[in-house]
Amino acid sequence: MRDKEQLWQQASRFQSLLVLVLMIVAMSLLSDRFLTQANGLNIMRQISVNVCLSIGMTMVILSGGIDLSVGSVLAFSGAITAGLIKSSIPLPWLGVELQFTTWGAIVAGLIVGLSLGWINGQLITRLKIPPFVATLGMLSIARGMTMLWTKGFPITGLGDGFAILGTQSVLGVPTPVWIAGGLVGVFVLLTKKTRVGRYIYAVGGNEQTTRLSGLNVNRIKVIVYTLAGALSAVAGLIMTSRLDSAQPNAGAGYELDSIAAVVIGGTSLSGGRGTILGTVIGCLIIGVLNSGLVLLNVSPFWQQVVKGGVILVAVAIDRMRESDD
């Protein structure tokens, strides 16, 4: 009996990886165009944005929170960068116009994302607004600010210098994949090898005990939401560069894909349990599923149904695991 329980625990630990392998095998058998180098690179390129978002979402959920604003923050950060690349900002009281370089505009976009994440953290910790409500409000605010900044029209023609982030390749691997891979490495180390990482797990595991132990729980939460905002900005820069356009509706619904990847990857919605690498596997599962369904000419409407079913199964398994614990 004990051997069976140990076997179940080992299987549940690697269940996401097993699902990914089975999906790759199944899609390869169903379509001869799936298991090709071109399609593999295409999947990696497509999931790079979700990987960036989901790293931040993983830390938020690990801390016992949720962030519904990541898609809108993505859009606003990308729009700010695109707008500053295309146009100067008049300063009439100085009689000059402020012109940003491409890299200056990129930094400005990152600061916008980081700032919006910091505001989320302050709303949750200072005003005691539940994370769901606070980030839902930020979702609407950031989307509205994107519409105001772009006036509802795409900002296009951003130049070759900015295109490096989204369209170029290094050693045959797309730049977005390098960026996402680098961030995965950094945040794996952050969550596993630093005090901040251990504190994030502690807050999500038992916030009250963590608070009583003397740790500044509010500061940890602010750090987590700030990082999530910054990572959303990185995702926005990659998407804007890849499209050579800042779309007012960019990132709409991306928060759902991000949460799905985190849950499918084995992170508990209750907090305190999960890994960045598990989330990457979750992103790959979604990417493989999307690519396979497209190659099989499955209707986009059915794709949404299938994706929703996968999310429900992942959450059900998570709840079963928690009840067993």
Domain assignment present for residue 149? The answer is yes
Kindly calculate the radius of gyration of the chain based on its CA atoms and give it in whole angstroms: 20
Domain assignment present for residue 11? The answer is no
Domain assignment present for residue 87? The answer is yes
Domain assignment present for residue 211? The answer is yes
Domain assignment present for residue 6? The answer is no
User: pLDDT tens-digit profile of 37-46?
Assistant: 999 999 999 9
Domain assignment present for residue 107? The answer is yes
User: pLDDT tens-digit profile of 181-231?
Assistant: 999 999 999 999 999 999 999 999 999 999 999 899 999 999 999 999 999
Q: How far apart are CA 157 and CA 250, in angstroms?
A: 16
User: pLDDT tens-digit profile of 289-322?
Assistant: 999 999 999 888 888 888 888 878 877 776 776 6
Q: How far apart are CA 136 and CA 124, in angstroms?
A: 12
Domain assignment present for residue 16? The answer is no
User: pLDDT tens-digit profile of 192-205?
Assistant: 999 999 999 999 99
Q: How far apart are CA 61 and CA 263, in angstroms?
A: 9
Q: How far apart are CA 271 and CA 59, in angstroms?
A: 9
Whether 175 contacts 165, CB under 8 Å = yes
Residue 14 is encoded by which pair of tokens? 């690697």
Number of domains present in the structure of the chain = 1
13-16: long-range contacts (C-beta < 8 A, 24 or more apart)?
13/266, 15/266, 15/317, 16/264, 16/265, 16/266, 16/278, 16/281, 16/282, 16/285
Domain assignment present for residue 5? The answer is no
Q: Which domain holds residue 132?
A: 34-324
CATH number at residue 244: 1.10.3470
